[in-house]
Amino acid sequence: MTVQDEITRAVSELAGSSHAIALTGAGISTESGIPDYRGPKGVWTLDKQAEAKAYERYEMFLGNPRHYWEEMLSGQGAHGAFYAALRYAQPNPGHRALAELERVGVLKHVITQNIDGLHRRAGSRNVVEYHGSVDRIRCPACGSRRGFESVTPGNLPPYCTCGGVMKYDVVHFKEPIPFDVMEEAEHQARVCDIMLICGTSAVVYPFAALPRTAKLGGKSTISIIEVNAEPTPLTLEGVTDYFIQGKTGEILPEIAAAVRKIKAGE
Ligand code: APR
């Protein structure tokens, strides 16, 4: 099948679906100027030391929360550049296309690994932020979340009213996925009849297990569609039913426009 044939098939399946969801990764935000992690110019691709430090961040929080906060707030290193890029980023046509698919009643949920908040800013309302968000802090002890307004650099780490130590509401490597987020994502994977997977290398678990959860524990009629710059393990292992190669910022708007026409009876 050509890319156009695959887009036509995706449009037809989405228009006829009853519970389509999208899973997204950093690839959907690269066209907003935010680097991904493992693509050719990814943060980890270019700076293996930054990746190694990221693997230690959760243990640093557990062992020395004050140092964790000082380092996160200092914005040093490649990860600091990543956080800096987040501040100026705007939603791109890929994010807006998924918001449009939700607006016309086709897309029921977006489950994103991204912490940039761009799906919400593009207008998507049903968003599960599987790895959290840079806009909030969270108490691992009781799960409560709030904004950064309570964080004062001279008084670190911030404490929760329950007495727990607060951290960025960003899931670090080796950190458990918050239960409420995990439960919602699993539920959506089991009830969806279309899973549109956009801009992820699908190598980080447990997120990367969601397509298999859908395939093996979900609806028998499930169709898994992948939109990505390059094939992933999901493509190569046949978890994906078909793979549309290219840029999310180009493919998703074409799909959304065609679905909108069908839903409008044009
Ligand atoms: N259109 C389509 N695909 C793209 C685009 C684009 N414009 N830009 C990049 N990609 C692809 C890359 O080729 C790559 O396959 O998106 C994928 C991004 O993969 P990663 O960089 O690994 O990002 P992601 O899958 O989200 O990483 C998962 O790893 O470091 C952790 O917590 C971090 O949430 C992140 C997780």
Q: Give the pLDDT of residue 204.
A: 97
Q: What is the pLDDT of residue 164?
A: 97
Residue ranges per domain, the chain? 3-34+90-134+176-263, 37-88+136-169
Output the pLDDT for position 209.
98
Atom 28 of ligand 1 has which residue's CA nearest to it? 204
- Confidence band, pLDDT 50/70/90 cuts, at residue 93: very high
Nearest CA to ligand 1 atom 26: 25
Q: Provide the whole-model pTM.
A: 0.96
Lateral strand order in the sheet of 132-138: 145-146, 132-138, 167-170
Tens digit of pLDDT for each residue in 50-86?
899 999 999 999 999 999 999 888 876 556 667 777 8
- Atom of ligand 1 at shortest distance to CA of 171? 32
> What pLDDT, on a 0 to 100 scale, did the predictor assign at position 75?
74
User: What's the confidence (pLDDT) of residue 78?
Assistant: 55
Pocket test for ligand 1, best of 3, 30, 53 (most atoms within 8 A of CB): 30
Known catalytic residue at 95: no
The domain defined by 37-88+136-169 folds into SIR2/SIRT2 'Small Domain' (3.30.1600)
Of all residues in the chain, what percent are helix, strand and coil, respectively (each to 5)?
45, 15, 35
pLDDT digits (tens, 9 = 90+) for 3-41: 999 999 999 999 999 999 999 999 999 999 999 999 999
Tell me which residues have their CB closer than 6 angstroms to ligand 1: 25-27, 30-31, 36-39, 42, 113, 131, 199-201, 204, 228-230, 232, 247-249
Nearest CA residue ID for atom 30, ligand 1: 37
* Position 186, amino acid: E
* Cα end-to-end span (Å), the chain: 26
* Domain spanning 3-34+90-134+176-263: CATH 1.10.10.60: no
Q: Which of 95, 119, 131, 172 is catalytic?
A: 131
